[in-house]
Chain A
Amino acid sequence: MNANNWGQLITPQLSDLNGAHHLSEEAPVIEAIHLHKEFPLRGTGLLGKSLSVHAVEDTSLALRPGQGTALVGESGSGKTTVARVLSGMYAPTSGSIRFKGQTVNIRRWTEVKAYRRQVQLIFQDPFSSLNPVHTVSYHLSRPLRVHGHAHNAREERQQIISLLERVNLTPAAQFIDKYPHQLSGGQRQRVAIARALAVQPSVILADEPVSMLDVSIRLDVLNLLLRLKDEERLGFLFITHDLASARYFAEETVVMYAGQMMEGGPSEEVIQHPLHPYTRLLLSAAPDPDRIGTDLGAKRAETPDAQLATPPTRGEPPSLIHPPQGCRFHLRCPHAMPVCSQRFPERTDAGGGHWTHCFLYGDNNQISKEDE
């Protein structure tokens, strides 16, 4: 990009996102319904019971055209597993995936292939997701051929060039014969995005697509994904550990902890008016330069609402081989009640599409006394 036109580029991009961010009513492209995923382990526990990692419990999601859904959580929260189940890489242990209303049989190869044509993954690390011995054009030609989008070499080259242009790798001719090691991290991630687009998917699952990139180029790649979402009406699952980029990118945010869904709804609602104690904890831990001048240690006490202020919650996510009973956050939760360790709360709707799984706000839509 030329330095001289930066000033001109800024003006049209300074658009206000507030108006555009509300949940779409369109029919979902992909729906995950009550997904569970366990990974069996070798060896057995007491009494010969087989062990497994309970990676994802009862997760339901809907991805709609032109809408971003952010899946937020710490490492080990199961967010990557959800993306891999949705991509058809793993078969769910139970639950189903629907594509445009039709249940997909993940165990039938023809159905999986047809499904994968619609759903593509972008990985976190562009240094390992591209094959170092192949050129950019090879990476992009494979999906074009495998899925039958290009019929001859001329068509293929044309499509590769237009793909590179779509991800702002211009002039395309300069990139087409390069090897991954000749590209910077941001350029590699653009090639990975172009490879996903080559399949002509309707949904992209982006697994921390910018967290490995340099700070100054993250926003460039994020803006590219935003454009694909808004202008080409692709559905997006955006996996991140950073609530601020979830707010920037996605209309909907879902917070996961140790494989369970904690809270979800319109991003602005979830971030400005968090309900679940875990969401509050995440928000209080996120870097926020507006706290400048206050001391880091003292910062804990002041949270937006004093009513549910988050005291220091030292601790780490639980083992997923022997997960705690009930709500898996109860061991770290400052508001834990006896019932929290007995069963997982039903979903409570807070209105406007905002929901949470927490006994503080009732259970099965019966508002509890604790909720004030």
Chain B
Amino acid sequence: MTSQTLLEIKSLSVDYEAASGTVHAVNDVSLTLERGHVLGLAGESGSGKSTLAYAITRLLNPPAIITNGEVLYYRRKNADDTAPIDILELSRSDLRAFRWSELAIVFQSAMNALNPVMNLEVQITDVIKAHNPNMGAGARKERALELLRLVGIAPDRLRSFPHELSGGMRQRAIIAIALALSPEIIIMDEPTTALDVVVQRDILSEILDLRNQFGFSIIFITHDLSLLLELADKIAIMYAGRIVEMATREEIYRQPRHPYTRGLLNSFPTLRGPRRRMTGIPGSPPDLRSVPPGCAFHPRCPYAFDACPKIVPALLHIPTGKATPDALVACHLYDPSLNPDGAESVLDSRPDDHREASQPPQVELSASSDAGGEQ
């Protein structure tokens, strides 16, 4: 770890104890978050990304159980001399003080996160009151107005109730509450999913402006990889409870390594470039009650070979090539002992690279070239 590390997650695992058996929702996940960075966490529903966020904040209730791991938090003031705090070991009262003043969370559904019978002033000042009991009522109101100004809500909305606000304003209000105590980390769980594109863009650029102003770090959780490519410094891709690839956004976009990442990038229609049939990923995400053995992605993977159903791939550094030292991938194609030919030779033999410049074969759209299912 470097002095820039703010949060370090070490082999965290979360299980859900269900009647039909144990579900491993998060499986041996390790991550680091640097100061002032945006870490993107992308995955489909059921990939464990929200469970991971809740585990970090210790918001999980039974039947969810954290079975293993550490979440280390490095305080700014004594980053080098004092040992980090393990959030998972905090006592109840320490946890209460820790939450919101050091780590805040923005939930997906702003309508449910705000109390419908309290106005914004009460909801914003409530946080301040709980953590800074010495602050006077006037100062609290000042702070609430300042927070509204920061997130772009007119001050006359201070007394508004959630139902009087539009979806975008509610989400801004939630962000204002998250900022109330100037936390070091803000976890954002799909903060813009329910919003229209224009509002989404406004809020995202606002979040980045605030980040530049106050220097907090963000863990940004979304299913929309295309958002993260613009927003995040580093992106971790999750599949079936594990991180399958982690790299900078440039590398994820220009040189995706895991076949799942490649498939995801090939699943978004684009606004520019040649228009062609895209393929996406066949099959559907696995049921976590019966995750395929070995690499969970192997039944959907076009490059799967005999090792994939047998051995669970570890998240490892990429041995060759121009990869940055932080780039990690969990795929046997990159393991020289299992795939001596090297990943590139296998991956490049299939014409599914979404940025391939060569002209694809011209096939009439009306030709019955589509696969399967024709009667």
Binding site for B on A (CB under 8 A): 1, 3, 5-7, 9-21, 74-75, 162, 165-170, 184-187, 214-220, 222-223, 226-227, 230-231, 241-245, 247-249, 268, 271-272, 281-293, 295-297, 299-300, 312-314, 316
Contacts and interface: CB of A to CB of B under 8 A. Distances in A.
A74 B229 contact: no
A255 B373 CA distance: 34
A168 B372 CA distance: 7
B250 A244 contact: no
Contacts of B277: 13-15, 17, 223, 226
Interface string B197-239: 1111110110011001000000000011111011100000000
A217 B300 CA distance: 11
Contact of B208 (A10, A293, A297): A297
Contacts of B45: 214
Interface string B117-141: 0000000000000000000000000
Contacts of B198: 74, 281-282, 285, 313
B362 A19 contact: yes
Contacts of A244: 268-271
Nearest to B197: A285
Contacts of A281: 198
Contacts of A170: 372-373
22 contacts: A1-B282, A1-B372, A3-B302, A7-B350, A10-B350, A11-B361, A13-B279, A14-B363, A15-B365, A15-B367, A16-B359, A74-B197, A167-B373, A168-B372, A216-B44, A217-B281, A223-B279, A241-B196, A247-B270, A292-B249, A292-B250, A292-B253
Contacts of A187: 284
B201 A271 contact: no
Given A16-B276, A244-B271, 11 more contacts: A1-B371, A11-B361, A16-B363, A17-B275, A17-B365, A165-B375, A216-B264, A249-B269, A289-B229, A293-B250, A296-B230
A14 B360 contact: yes
B285 interface: yes
Q: Which 9 A-B pairs have the closest CB atoms?
A: A219-B280, A248-B269, A15-B363, A168-B373, A12-B369, A6-B302, A285-B201, A17-B275, A14-B360
A9 B279 contact: yes
B278 interface: yes
B44 A231 contact: no
Interface string B270-309: 1110111111111111000000000000111110100000
Contacts of B199: 316
A241 B283 CA distance: 25
B326 interface: no
A230 B280 contact: no
Contacts of B370: 12-13, 223, 227, 231
Q: Interface centre among B225, B264, B277, B368, by most A CB within 10 Å?
A: B277
A168 to B, nearest CB: 4
A214 B44 CA distance: 6
Contact of A241 (B197, B269, B359): B197
B324 interface: no
A217 B277 CA distance: 15
